[in-house]
Structure 1
């Protein structure tokens, strides 16, 4: 989970419910900065146990580069509603179709970015129907299931949720000795004593965590399918990541013929660890696609 410094939207951004053909989704929508030529729209998908607020640090620097950014809580995440106990509502294809509906509502085509779990959902959306998208950025999101150590952490969380309430799980985590910060998306990262993080945790639907946690632990490698889709790709990560080790992300970028960006000093959440460098890398990728063909093979 990313740890945004604040859950308050940045100046000029607006928090509201985006109405789509598949329901309403809570978003933070940041317009292009005043006096800057609009260059595009980006739809941003958060990771496991995360929310739209994880992208708060990116909105202003991207607005200055001419990009409207819309960060969304997926179904059952934080302020987007969803069933508390029906895991079938959070099947990957269902979440991917939500993304297609969000892009359609924004008037597409849009640049699509997914962080961690959000990257796998974004990939699934592109594989269903790629025309609503100008490009795909996979941020700290790998080709298949998460690493063995992270699968064990997600299993611990799933086991806890099977017998405890969300509040009880939160309290149990607080009672543990604080772990080293490894930048993981699972049980231990981000669950500190901040009231806003606790509020986000309690608002997230247990079925969403159970279903998407299973997806993270069993996701197959679909990079060959994705490489056949004519979109520009960008693989971006921090310089350390034990959820999907960097050599795995490097290899994935080669298979996708994607741009590869490594953000020095960042771990699993470059969006909050190094937002300035991350925003610059994103805008450079999107800008280059406007000028000519990208390594993915298609001009924007």
Structure 2
């Protein structure tokens, strides 16, 4: 493997071989809240370790990855992979190489934008880690300059061999993540949404709907820090369908994830056939091309967190609906 791509072992790692210092605290594998422009944000703080902590109660932990192009002549695109392990399994990669962490769309390989010589790139979308499904909080990052499959040994004879492998390869890094003991959700659903236009959407509404008789006391939280959404709702009566809308203003050019989490009350049981759907609507003016296909905003009732957005009755058009569940 040409040592042209760098995922650092620690902040002092400049790509020298072998690297020196810590081998288990890579600043280039980063648990972090969503950011509007990952490329600018994580390149701007490349000299810092801005890692946050994994929430052990969440199925939706975002992990960003950054890479440096060590070539002095070539523009390169990095292909980033991420694997989950524990310290007890380090010496037997055959036991963790199939623990691939993927994006919200299920991609196990995430590309950066092309990096000029000496440039820094950030994986275009974050990896999504379900901390409720595993206790493997140590992650191995592996980057290639093309679609070449990683060359990872099945095992190491000694722990020293594993450490040398990390220090002598710039394209491999390791991170032992900090964790927080958060309240465990029953499920977390992640919906990607975007505004590709150059103008903000005055009203973007997510209609969250529980289908089935969920137990009284079931709590639903909806969160996306990028657009100021942090709402919650509790089921107060048994009914076949419970819904509530959450609204926001969506900035131009944004691409983000809405995380909807369900917390069943103590002793509560998921209803037979029950499921969650999230439907995305945006506002449409009377002279808009799709006005004839829109519906009155009041049909969704006033959003819990943004009644001021509906001071005058508007019209909404549906962008899409998703009922995929991550458990």
**What interval of TM-score do these two structures reach, taking the shorter chain for normalisation?**
under 0.3
User: Computing the radius of gyration over CA atoms, which structure comes out larger, 1 or 2?
Assistant: 2
| Higher share of residues assigned helix | 1
What TM-score does the superposition give when structure 1 sets the normalisation length? Answer: 0.23
